[in-house]
Amino acid sequence: MTVQLEKVYTPSAIEDKWYQHWLDNGYFHAEVNPDKEPYTIVIPPPNVTGMLTMGHVLNNTIQDILIRKARMAGKEACWIPGTDHASIATEGKVVKMLKEQGIDKNSLTREEFLEHAWEWKEKYGGIIIQQLKKLGCSCDWERERFTMDEGYSKAVLSAFVKLYEKGLIYKGHRLVNWCPVSKSAISDEEVIHQEVNGHLWYFKYPVKDNDEYLVVATTRPETMLGDTAVAVHPKDERFTHLVGKTVTLPLVGREIPIIADDYVDPEFGTGCVKVTPAHDHNDFAMGERHNLEFINIMNDDASLNENTPEAYQNLSREDARKAVLKDLEKQGFLEKTEDYVNKVGYSERGQVPIEFYMSEQWFMKMSDLAKPALQAVSDSKIKFHPEHWVKTYKHWMENIKDWCISRQLWWGHQIPVWYHRENPKRLHVSVEGPDDSDNWVQDEDVLDTWASSWLWPIAVHNWPDESDDLKYFYPTDALVTGPDIIFFWVARMIITGYEFKSDLPFKDVYFTSIIRDKKGRKFSKSLGNSPDPFELFEEYGTDAVRFGTMLMAPQGLDVLFSSTRLEVGRNFMNKLWNASRFVLMNLEDGNIPEIDLDKEELDIPERWILSRLQKSIKAYNRQLNRFHFNEAAKVLYDFTWNDFCDWYIEIAKTRFYGNDAHAADVSRAAAIQVPLFLKNCGLM
Amino acid sequence: VKRADDPDLIVGQWPQANDNKIDDTAEKEMELLQKIVTGIRTVRSRMNVPPGSQSELIAKCDSDMVVFLQKHHTIISALTQTSSVTAGPDQAKPEQKRADEINGHLMEISKKLSNEKFISRAPQSVVAREKEKQEEMSAELEKVNANLEMLQ
Residues contacting residue B122 through CB under 8 Å, at least 6 positions apart: none
d(CA A655, CA A40): 46
B24-50 pLDDT per residue, tens:
999 999 999 999 999 999 989 988 889
Q: Which residues of A touch B22 (CB under 8 A)?
A: 611, 614-615
- The whole-number pLDDT of residue A189 equals 74
Exposure of A253 by Cβ count < 10 A (0-12 exposed, 13-18 middle, 19+ buried)?
Answer: exposed
d(CA A128, CA B138): 74
Q: Phi/psi of residue A409, each to 5°?
A: -130, 175
Of A27, A608, A679, the CB nearest to B27: A608
**CA dist list (Å): A565 to A6, A281, A344, A550:** 25, 48, 39, 9
- What SS3 state is found at A522? strand
Sheet holding A334-347, edge to edge: A213-218, A191-206, A334-347
Buried-state track A37-55, b at ≥16 Cβ within 10 A, e below 16 = ebbbbbbbbbbbbbebbbb
Cβ-defined contact of A584 to B1 (cutoff 8 Å): yes
A605 touches chain B (CB under 8 A): yes
* Radius of gyration from C-alpha coordinates of chain B: 26
For chain A, the 3-state helix, strand and coil shares in percent, each to the nearest 5, are 45, 20, 35
Q: Which residues of B touch A614 (CB under 8 A)?
A: 17-19, 21-22
Q: Which amino acid is at B112?
A: K
Residues contacting residue B15 through CB under 8 Å, at least 6 positions apart: A617, A620, A621, A677, A680, A681
DSSP-derived secondary structure for A175-223: EEEEETTTTEEE-GGGEEEEEEEEEEEEEEEEBTTSS-EEEEEES-GGG
Q: Which residues of A touch B70 (CB under 8 A)?
A: none
Cβ-defined contact of A650 to B79 (cutoff 8 Å): yes
Cross-strand bridge partners of residue A248? A255
A604 touches chain B (CB under 8 A): yes
Of A3, A647, A672, the CB nearest to B34: A647
- The whole-number pLDDT of residue A436 equals 96
Q: Which residues of A touch B23 (CB under 8 A)?
A: 607-608, 610-611
A43 close to A139: Cβ distance less than 8 angstroms: yes
Residues contacting residue A268 through CB under 8 Å, at least 6 positions apart: none
Residue among A19, A24, A72 with most chain B CBs within 10 A, to mutate: A72
- The whole-number pLDDT of residue A590 equals 74
DSSP-derived secondary structure for B30-53: HHHHHHHHHHHHHHHHHTT--TTS
- The whole-number pLDDT of residue A25 equals 95
- The whole-number pLDDT of residue A2 equals 56
Half-sphere exposure of A275 (CA within 13 A, CB side): 31
Nearest C-alpha neighbor of A84 from the set A50, A56, A47: A47
A78 close to A38: Cβ distance less than 8 angstroms: yes
Q: Which residues of A touch B74 (CB under 8 A)?
A: 654, 658
Q: Which residues of B touch A611 (CB under 8 A)?
A: 21-24, 26-27
Cβ-defined contact of B15 to A584 (cutoff 8 Å): no
Chain A: nearest CA to B35, how far in angstroms? 12
| Residue A596, number of CB atoms within 10 A of its CB | 7
A22 touches chain B (CB under 8 A): yes
Q: Note the maximum CA span of chain B.
A: 93
A300 close to A183: Cβ distance less than 8 angstroms: yes
Question: Mean pLDDT per 10-residue run, chain A (684 residues)?
Answer: 75 91 96 97 92 91 96 97 92 92 94 95 86 96 97 98 98 91 84 91 93 93 97 95 95 96 92 95 93 95 96 96 97 95 88 92 96 97 96 95 93 98 96 96 96 98 96 98 92 98 97 87 73 92 94 83 90 92 84 84 94 96 95 95 95 90 90 82 66
| Residue A184, number of CB atoms within 10 A of its CB | 26
Q: Phi/psi of residue A217, each to 5°?
A: -120, 145
